[in-house]
């Protein structure tokens, strides 16, 4: 007969040797019960997702604009920004469909702050239970204001907690090639944009689009927090995001035309979002203006494949390092354009 206690002691010699702590979280179902979406907001999210689907499948001529702070760190400033964006979105709704960028997870090339959900107090305390709850609460307030939400999903468990509030999601340049993120995207309920790789390679994003459109089976968690085998149907609402790479942009007509040809050769809709930031802007916030103008110039021609744009924007221009006395409305990750410049983009 096997002695379970003895087995447990033996496993301690080989398992979790570098794990300091395992802390149980409340389940997705518990968090949603405390902070429910409700029928009215559920319908809004569904309607916003449908609008985005129409745009990326070239059935709605408006430009999809994902815009907002590089990352979320101060809910008060974010709600201030959101209220301004509500008013702007209403003024420009005939030409643009504005979705607020609400990014809680930050992929890091090496180390650094991993985002609001991971470390909401910005002090390496990593109170993720508070981070998840505060993130969901903030998202509810933004949706109640009338704004659709966009986010990047990095950790494959987090969608179970907040995905019902999201109208568009991104898979970033560092994770587009990841099988885990392709599988996850195949089961996400909203449209998904795949960014080209950090070296500028767009084929990995096209491969990701094809992969995510197909059914997958993989391990995940259910709403009660139990490990589960997730079987998906595939996501038909995926598209390419050009963000440049290796300090080289890819937003001008030759690169956009090349991307279009590659998508068509793969049998995919020639639907492209251009990220005005990152390598396309040489990581200089104000360079986003030049990229934006080029997007509009290309869209003046018929059959333009650019259906979306992404802009990093906040209340104040630039960015700052994490310190005790943070400036209000100023990014702590990538530099953003300020609110005045943001309004000028749409004038």
pLDDT of residue 111: 79
pLDDT confidence tier of residue 112, bands split at 50, 70 and 90 = confident
Predicted TM-score (pTM) of the model is 0.94
pLDDT tens figures, 20-60? 999 999 999 999 999 999 999 999 999 999 999 999 999 99
pLDDT of residue 1: 43
Q: What is the mean pLDDT of the chain?
A: 95
pLDDT of residue 274: 98
Domains and CATH numbers, the chain: 24-345 (3.20.20.70)
pLDDT of residue 11: 66
pLDDT of residue 107: 83
**Two tokens at 136?**
């969901």
pLDDT tens figures, 187-218? 999 999 999 999 999 999 999 999 999 999 99
pLDDT of residue 7: 46
pLDDT of residue 149: 98
pLDDT of residue 106: 86
pLDDT tens figures, 60-76? 999 999 999 999 999 99
pLDDT of residue 322: 95
């Amino acid at each position: 007969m096997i002695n379970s206690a003895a087995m447990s002691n033996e496993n301690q010699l080989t398992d979790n040797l570098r794990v300091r702590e395992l802390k149980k979280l409340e389940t997705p179902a518990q968090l949603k019960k405390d902070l429910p979406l409700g029928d009215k907001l559920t319908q809004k999210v569904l309607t916003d997702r449908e609008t985005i689907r129409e745009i990326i499948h070239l059935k709605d001529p408006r430009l999809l604009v994902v815009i907002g702070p590089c990352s979320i760190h101060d809910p008060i400033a974010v709600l201030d920004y959101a209220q301004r964006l509500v008013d702007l979105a209403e003024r420009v709704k005939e030409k643009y469909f504005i979705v607020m960028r609400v990014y809680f997870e930050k992929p890091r090339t090496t180390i650094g702050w991993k985002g609001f959900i991971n470390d909401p107090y910005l002090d390496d305390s990593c109170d993720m239970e508070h981070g998840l709850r505060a993130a969901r609460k903030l998202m509810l307030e933004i949706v109640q204001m009338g704004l659709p939400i966009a986010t990047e999903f990095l950790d494959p468990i987090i969608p179970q907690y907040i995905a019902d509030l999201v109208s568009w999601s991104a898979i970033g340049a560092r994770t587009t090639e990841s099988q885990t993120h392709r599988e996850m995207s195949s089961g996400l309920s909203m449209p998904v944009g795949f960014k080209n790789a950090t070296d500028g390679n767009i084929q990995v994003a096209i491969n990701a689009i094809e992969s995510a459109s197909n059914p997958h089976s993989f391990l995940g968690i259910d709403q009660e927090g139990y490990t589960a085998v997730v079987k998906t149907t595939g996501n038909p609402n995926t598209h390419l995001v050009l963000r440049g790479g290796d300090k080289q942009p890819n937003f001008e007509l030759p690169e956009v035309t090349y991307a279009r040809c590659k998508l068509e050769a793969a049998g995919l809709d020639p639907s492209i979002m251009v990220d005005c930031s990152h390598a396309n802007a040489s990581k200089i916030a104000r360079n986003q203006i030049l990229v934006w103008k080029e997007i509009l110039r290309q869209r003046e021609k018929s059959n333009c494949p650019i259906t979306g744009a992404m802009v990093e924007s906040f209340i104040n221009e630039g960015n700052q390092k994490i310190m005790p006395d943070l400036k209000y409305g100023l990014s702590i990750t990538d530099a953003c354009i300020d609110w005045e410049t943001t309004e000028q983009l749409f004038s």
